[in-house]
Amino acid sequence: MQQGEMLKGKRALVTGSTSGIGLAVARALREEGADIILNGLGDQDEIDTLAEELGARYEGANLLDPAAIEAMMEAVGPVDILVNNAGMQHVSPVEDFPPAKWDAVIALNLTAAFHTVRLAVPGMKAKGWGRIINTASAHSTAASPFKSAYVASKHAVAGFTKTIALELAQSGVTANCISPGYVWTPLVEGQIPDTMAARGLSREEVINDVLLAKQPTKKFVQPEEVGALAVFLCREEAGNVTGANWSIDGGWTAE
């Protein structure tokens, strides 16, 4: 991989980077020279291959467990760039929504970011430089039926990000959300069967009439496009970009 110099010497922890958007963000940061710490679940052989490709360290913490997050942050030490990206979805009418699923979605999509941020901020403040990027979603400002926990968690991540941006405003540390529309990843593929059931639709109808119907471009967002936006937020020139929620959603939330 050809490597730039822009983020040389910066250490970047990207949660949920064994797949999908997080992996694309990790690759994009690596291409600019950052040292990557991968996190996420999955097949260990595949993860080892990714870690080798990126020259990365891997931390397998299960982010549903605050003690595991603390152990990971302790093991990793200070980071310059923190990308809270791990996330999960569950699709169900609210009256049937399993309470354990609600708890898991909130724990992973919201509470895990609180823990990594509270543990990373002292190191960033000490250096007078830091970048916190939270992968929110178009669902941080708009809702869709049957995704109550996810929409609640992503709205909360947007509010959390604005709050820490204000707290950190004079410290050299920025905090922003990236809010993709639909990106074709295992997370989206995995919700198709439940969406078919909840709405009584075929697979093709879910893709075209539910997912792409939201996006005026009629195209899925590409993971690499999200990676490029994350790189921009890490640039020196983005030092005054903080507390923002960056849509990358093919026009979804413009409507």
Q: Active-site positions?
A: 150
Tell me: does residue 16 bind ligand NAD (CB under 6 A): yes
Q: Of 48-56, 161-169, 176-184, 232-240, which part binds ligand NAD (CB under 6 A)? A: 176-184
Q: With 0-12 CB in 10 A as exposed, 13-18 as middle and 19+ as buried, what is 63?
A: buried
Count of positions on this chain that bind ligand NAD (CB under 6 A)? 29
The angle, 0 to 180 degrees and rounded to 10, between the axes of the packed helices 66-76 and 112-127 is 20
What's the min distance (Å) between Cβ of 46 and ligand NAD?
11
Instruction: Write out the binding residues for ligand NAD, residues 93-132 only, by CB under 6 A.
Output: 108-109
Spatial neighbors of 138 by CB under 8 A, at least 6 apart, are 179, 180, 181, 214, 247, 249, 252, 253
Q: What is the DSSP letter of 190?
A: H
- Map tokens 């605050």 to a residue: 66
Out of 7, 10, 14, 22, the residue judged to bind ligand NAD by CB under 6 A: 22
Q: Which span (37-45, 72-80, 95-103, 200-208) binds ligand NAD, by CB under 6 A? A: 37-45
Distance CA 91, CA 74 (A): 34
Q: Count Cβ atoms within 10 A of the Cβ of residue 199 and give its class: 0-12 exposed, 13-18 middle, 19 or more buried.
A: middle
Per-residue interface string for the shown chain with ligand NAD, residues 195-234, x marking contact by CB under 6 A: ----------------------------------------
Nearest distance, CB of residue 116 and ligand NAD, angstroms: 11
For tokens 């979605």, the residue is 105
Does position 188 bind ligand NAD by CB under 6 A? yes
* Residue with smaller CB distance to ligand NAD, 75 or 126: 75
For residue 159, the Cα-to-chain-centroid distance in whole angstroms is: 15
Choosing from 12, 14, 149, 180, the residue that interacts with ligand NAD (CB under 6 A) is 180
Give the span between the Cα atoms of 50 and 210, in whole angstroms. Answer: 33
Contact region with ligand NAD (CB under 6 A), list: 26-34, 49-57, 168-176, 182-190: 182-190
| Residues contacting 35, CB < 8 A, separation 6+ | 9, 10, 11, 12, 55, 56, 57
Rounded Cα gap, residues 218 and 213, in angstroms: 7
Q: Least distance (Å) from ligand NAD to the CB of residue 194?
A: 14
Nearer to ligand NAD, 236 or 254 (CB): 254
* Stretch touching ligand NAD by CB under 6 A, among 43-51, 80-88, 163-171, 200-208: 80-88
Shortest distance in whole angstroms from residue 237 CB to ligand NAD: 25
Contact 37, 56 (CB under 8 A): yes
- Does position 183 bind ligand NAD by CB under 6 A? yes
Residue ranges in contact with ligand NAD by CB under 6 A: 16-22, 39-42, 62-64, 85-88, 108-109, 135, 137, 180, 182-183, 185-188
